Amino acid sequence: MRIKPNMTPLHQDEHLLVLEKPSGLLSVPGRGPDKQDCLSKRVHAIYPEALVVHRLDQDTSGLLLMARGPEAQRRMSRLFETRQVHKRYVAVVAGQLLKSQAQEPADPDGWRSIEGPILLDWERRPVHIIHPDGKPSQSRWRALQSSDTATLVELEPVTGRTHQLRVHLHSIGHPMLGDALYAPAPVRAMSPRLMLHAQSLSFPHPFTDLPMAFSAPAVWSAHAPYGPFQEITPMSFETFKQQALAEGFDEVLERSWEANLVLDTHTHPFSIKVRVTAGQMWLSTGSQKRYFTPGDEFTLEREVPHAEHYGPEGASYWVARKNQSAALIRLSRAPGFCG
């Protein structure tokens, strides 16, 4: 269970709030009842006038701005549109970035560029890819520290595409540690979280034009264990089982599916509760497609049509089933979460 962080702003005035979002918390509500807890809702409970200006990915931590009222939101949005908001991130990526990119020209301060048009991979959303049909995108980077296994890097997004920094680093062969979407399993396992943090913001105040600058450094390193992490005890199967039985589910099972398996639209004659324990999967219900990685949970009511798509490493999960008779239990060869 994640502990709700303190939502006290790092800065507040009559027009703006500057906050530090923890990794694992959505910026805004997602799709489904399990995706409603988010930074914007927590802040809105304290500051009802607060409005979203920009977002950070769920697994990214760091500085985030909110506007206090529609006029402040309009003016801040204009600053983003005209690229007057300057953001810098810090990340830990796999491999020796300076060695592999030595041929790329650097400016006097050591900054190099990555360019590549970014496109949503519709069938695997929210995954994005480098593709000629994508939107033009540019990121700048410079190495801060290197080791045999990783590089600590400072990043600056010139454009602001979804997952831009993660996609660009992945595209040159240096995915971020702990990245559930873009890193292969060995690189994901190097960190308990995505090693990407929005550490600085600067912009002219939207009402006074005074220069504003904020910093929230991350104490990270290119050397293992790469950063200080709060140890979280993973949920056990027995705990999940007891919780599910207390909620009225009848049976709790452990299941695994092979890599890249696609199960076309089907239904189950019982409700389910699922917790993903390894790998990746997508769940499609109607026009909605949701992506799950280890630690994510979801529920699905009986007879709801859905399709399942498992990632390049397959997936394992625990599934609880409700309101099934002995006859239904015998249907062990039914597709998907049935068996």
State the Rg of the chain over Cα. 22
| Predicted model pTM | 0.80
Is residue 1's pLDDT more than 80? Answer: no
Half-sphere exposure of 244 (CA within 13 A, CB side): 26
**How high is the pLDDT of residue 66?**
96
Task: Say which residue the tokens 């003016």 belong to.
Answer: 75
Beta bridge partners of 140: 113, 156
pLDDT digits (tens, 9 = 90+) for 237-272: 999 999 999 999 999 999 999 988 999 999 989 999
Which of 57-61, 148-152, 228-232, 277-281 has the least mean pLDDT? 228-232
Domains of the chain from N-terminus onward: 11-215 (3.30.2350.10), 237-338 (2.60.120.10)
For the chain, give the percent of residues with pLDDT over 90: 70
Task: Return d(Cα 102, Cα 107) in angstroms, integer.
Answer: 13
Among 4-8, 176-180, 240-244, where is mean pLDDT lowest? 4-8
- What are the pLDDT digits (tens) for 12-25? 999 999 999 999 89
pLDDT band of 2, cuts 50, 70, 90: very low
Residue 337: is its pLDDT beyond 60? no
* Catalytically active residues, by annotation: 57
Higher pLDDT, 260 or 53: 53
Mean pLDDT of the chain: 89
- Which range is least confidently modeled, 135-149, 169-183, 229-243, 302-316? 229-243
